[in-house]
Amino acid sequence: MDNEKFMNNLFVYLEIEDGKVEDVSLELLTKGRALAKNLNCKMEAVAVGSQLDNIGEQVFPYGVNVLHLFDDKHLYPYTSLPHTSVLVKLFQEEKPQIALMGATSIGRDLGPRVSSALGSGLTADCTSLEIGDHEEKKENKTYKDLLYQIRPAFGGNIVATIINPDCRPQMATVREGVMKKEIADPKHKGEIVKHDVTKYVSDTDFIVTVIERQIEKSKVNIKGSPIIVAGGYGMGSKENFQLLHDLANTIGAEVGASRAAVDAGFAEHERQIGQTGVTVRPKLYIACGISGQIQHIAGMQESAMIIAINNDPYAPINTIADYVITGEVETVVPKMIKYYKKNSK
Amino acid sequence: MSLKIIVLAKQVPDTRNVGKDAMKADGTVNRAALPAIFNPEDLNALEQALRLKDKYPGSTVTLLTMGPGRAAEIIREGLFRGADGGYLLTDRAFAGADTLATSYALSMAIRKIGKFDIIISGRQAIDGDTAQVGPQVAEKLGMPQITYAEEIQSVEKSKIRVKRRLERGIEIAEGSLPMLVTVNGSAPECRPRNARLLQKYKHALTITERQAASVDYEELYSNRPYLNLEEWSVADVKADVVQCGLSGSPTKVKKIDNVVFQAKESKTFDSSDTDIEELIVELINNHTIG
């Protein structure tokens, strides 16, 4: 690596839908800012799409130092090859030490392709990113300030720390909701670099075209809700899940679900909480009919207070709950609604 | 029109239901206690391939898998369901591969297979959940990709049309062949084994398996060449050994921690009216709700 000639900054790829930067990217910028500060380098963001004039005002408050714009009507909606070409060429020029993107259907399509073209390592779905050193004892070599890419593996039963000692950029994807989103300075302004798209993308990159697209605005906001009522496979049916909606409506909560409940068709995918869904940190988490597989617990264990309702007194989730109610969900939930209505002021 | 289709499939430990018996006393996972299965989304991929074969007679479906010797089961499983053949990429030098080294090895094997129109694989494997190998194979072969597919809708005049299932909706994408497609778990399940094919292929073995089982029906295997499952080594696919396995992997595992959750002191209630009301009143009074 030619460390002196280049800045070796941290880069974040921005996901943009309808002119709006997605939350997952803003969360990465928040994390990226902390990592860049730790490394004493700058944070740069890359926007690839169409009509990007207002992207700067959206991302500068998160501490972006340099914003790279690739604005062309053919670059939206996202397709794999043109966005890959932009990142590969830009990264060859700028030589970032770290590149982050969302673990979304876009980031997980783009990241591997870019990493393969650059021959650099990529770690998918990280739940934590840290900076640290590494000693290669066999070669008696010490690596300073590597990116620790921490992720669950093996169905969530282990957590692995992955490093890329020799290849740059060190690439990682992170799921939405795993990192916190926090504005650094609303008045912060960075530099904007507008690139000539024709220098990065060739006509043959447009081999795949999107001929129809039906993307809905996210209807549920489980990440932002202070109270979550979540159901698992133990709810038994989609009809029983309605009970959770009733409770949620009564106490002002959002409804979440475990992977097993989503797989069984009891709830929509966007309500899924856990390693393969979103991570939540509400004030109160009410787990109904959830046994507590590790991969679910990983996505909700930081809740300030947890109530577990389960007919199995030995359900694993009970060990991390503040309140354990042993009983049938169908009995308990209506009673909670009843006594909430009776006692709330 | 007939298509040459390659399906990438992986044998994985069934990590979805790691029960208590699969955990060792020290809290680590006892991999040997987990059954080895056909990666679920690769079965969805196989089904998409078989549907194309049904639709365009004369098409062929070839499986490619990388793994230890026992991963030949994946090829047999594919043959039982309608695939035409398969290759097992197996060599100690492939061990310890991350996704980049894996996709390099697979891409070299695909080059050896030769001509193809479509490569189909599952979106991701349940032992790693990375979803990286599909796109990386496409990049290594310099070909386009359509990921997150729920249905290959049509292949006409060398144009492929695919319905994709994304987080918040669907997308219809179209591109020209050759194309690599990765398939979601939301796609139709794979058809079951076919009784006739099960009979036909039940003795399909790799040479290593034949030696290990001391099966020596030389005549059977020479009269029915489709029963010989081919094994390929690093040398067979002309791969650069440095780019394979551990040495070809830019990512290294620094450490592994077992997941242990801190148990809390919890307060227990039952489903009686008194208990539930007491809890609700407590939550209202400490301003958690209401």
pLDDT for A1:
44
Can you tell me the ipTM of this complex? 0.89
Alpha-carbon gap, residue B62 to B49, rounded angstroms: 9
Contact A148 B254 (CB under 8 A): yes
| pLDDT at residue B234 is higher than 80 | yes
What mean pLDDT comes out for the span B236-264?
87
Give the closest residue to A39 by CA, choosing from A168, A130, A152.
Answer: A130
Give the closest residue to B67 by CA, choosing from B245, B204, B256, B263.
Answer: B245
Assess B171–A contact: CB distance below 8 Å, yes or no.
yes
Pairing of strands A128-136, B267-270: unpaired
- Picking from A125, A154, A207, the nearest residue to B144 by CB comes out as A207
Residue count of chain B, please give it: 290
Contact B18 A157 (CB under 8 A): yes
| pLDDT at residue B27 is higher than 80 | no
Segment (H or E) for B110: helix B99-113
Alpha-carbon gap, residue B148 to A44, rounded angstroms: 29
Interface test with B, best of A114, A271, A339 (most B CBs within 10 A): A339
- Mind telling me how many Å the CA of A36 is from chain B's nearest CA? 21
What mean pLDDT comes out for the span B239-265?
86
Residues 6+ apart with CB under 8 A from A333: A243, A244, A246, A247, A288, A309
Nearest 5°: CA angle at B79, between B76 and B84? 130
Q: Provide the 3-class DSSP secondary structure of residue A270.
A: helix
Contact B167 A269 (CB under 8 A): yes
Tell me the pLDDT band of B35, cut-offs 50, 70 and 90: confident
| pLDDT at residue B194 is higher than 50 | yes
| Contact residues on chain A for B129, CB-CB shorter than 8 A | 124-125, 153, 276
Give the closest residue to A31 by CA, choosing from A223, A225, A174.
Answer: A174
Contact B145 A155 (CB under 8 A): no
> What is the DSSP-derived secondary structure letter of residue A124?
E
Topology at the third CATH level for domain A10-207: Rossmann fold (3.40.50)
Residue A24 C-alpha from the chain's centroid: 5
Domain boundaries, chain A: 10-207, 227-343
Q: Provide the 3-class DSSP secondary structure of residue A230.
A: strand
Domain boundaries, chain B: 4-248
Q: Into which CATH architecture does domain B4-248 fall?
A: 3-Layer(aba) Sandwich (3.40)
Contact B261 A113 (CB under 8 A): no
- Picking from A134, A167, A335, the nearest residue to B273 by CB comes out as A335
**Nearest-CA residue of chain B relative to A313?**
B268
Assess B158–A contact: CB distance below 8 Å, yes or no.
no
Most confident of A2-16, A150-164, B43-57, B247-261: B43-57
Q: What is the distance in angstroms between the CA of the first residue and the CA of the last residue of chain A? A: 65
Q: Residues B179, B50: contact at Cβ < 8 Å?
A: no
Alpha-carbon gap, residue A73 to B80, rounded angstroms: 48
Pairing of strands B85-89, B228-232: parallel
Contact B130 A148 (CB under 8 A): no
- Mind telling me how many Å the CA of A281 is from chain B's nearest CA? 14
What pLDDT, in 10s, does the model give residues B11-25?
998 877 666 566 666
What superfamily in CATH does domain A227-343 come from?
A: TPP-binding domain (3.40.50.1220)
Kindly give the parts of chain A with pLDDT less than 50.
Answer: 1-6
Contact B132 A122 (CB under 8 A): yes
- Tally A–B CB contacts below 8 A: 249
Task: Share the mean pLDDT of chain B.
Answer: 91
Tell me the pLDDT band of B10, cut-offs 50, 70 and 90: very high
Fold agreement (A10-207, A227-343): yes
Does B289 or A88 have the greater pLDDT score? A88
Alpha-carbon gap, residue B83 to A128, rounded angstroms: 41
The phi and psi torsions of A255 (rounded to 5 degrees) equal -100, 130
Contact A214 B277 (CB under 8 A): no
| pLDDT at residue B66 is higher than 90 | yes
| Contact residues on chain A for B107, CB-CB shorter than 8 A | none
Burial class (CB in 10 A: 0-12, 13-18, 19+), B161: middle
Please compute Rg for chain B using Cα positions. Answer: 23
**Nearest-CA residue of chain A relative to B251?**
A164
- Picking from A108, A212, A294, the nearest residue to B131 by CB comes out as A108
Cα dist from A185 to A28, A33, A44, A118, A189, whole Å: 16, 12, 16, 34, 9
- Picking from B127, B133, B251, the nearest residue to A123 by CB comes out as B251
pLDDT for A131:
97
- Mind telling me how many Å the CA of B160 is from chain A's nearest CA? 9
Cβ atoms < 10 Å from Cβ of A71: 17
Q: What is the distance in angstroms between the CA of the first residue and the CA of the last residue of chain B? A: 66
Contact B280 A336 (CB under 8 A): yes
Pairing of strands A158-163, A141-153: antiparallel
Cβ atoms < 10 Å from Cβ of B113: 16
What pLDDT, in 10s, does the model give residues B138-154?
999 999 999 999 999 99
pTM: 0.86
Alpha-carbon gap, residue B281 to B266, rounded angstroms: 17
- Mind telling me how many Å the CA of A82 is from chain B's nearest CA? 11
Does B82 or A223 have the greater pLDDT score? B82
Q: Virtual CA dihedral for B217, B221, B222, B225, nearest 10 degrees?
A: 180
Contact B15 A81 (CB under 8 A): no
Contact B169 A216 (CB under 8 A): yes
pLDDT for A5:
43
| Contact residues on chain A for B99, CB-CB shorter than 8 A | 112, 122
User: Within A256-345, where are the H helices?
Assistant: 259-263, 294-297, 329-343
Alpha-carbon gap, residue B132 to A20, rounded angstroms: 27
Burial call B195-216: b when 16+ CB within 10 Å, e when fewer: eebeeebeebbbeebbeeeeee
Residues of B numbered 51-80 whose beta carbons fall under 8 angstroms of chain A's beta carbons: which are they? none
Contact B175 A207 (CB under 8 A): yes
By percentage, how much of chain B surpasses pLDDT 70? Answer: 92
Tell me the pLDDT band of B29, cut-offs 50, 70 and 90: low
- Mind telling me how many Å the CA of B212 is from chain A's nearest CA? 30
| Contact residues on chain A for B250, CB-CB shorter than 8 A | 119-121, 164, 166-167
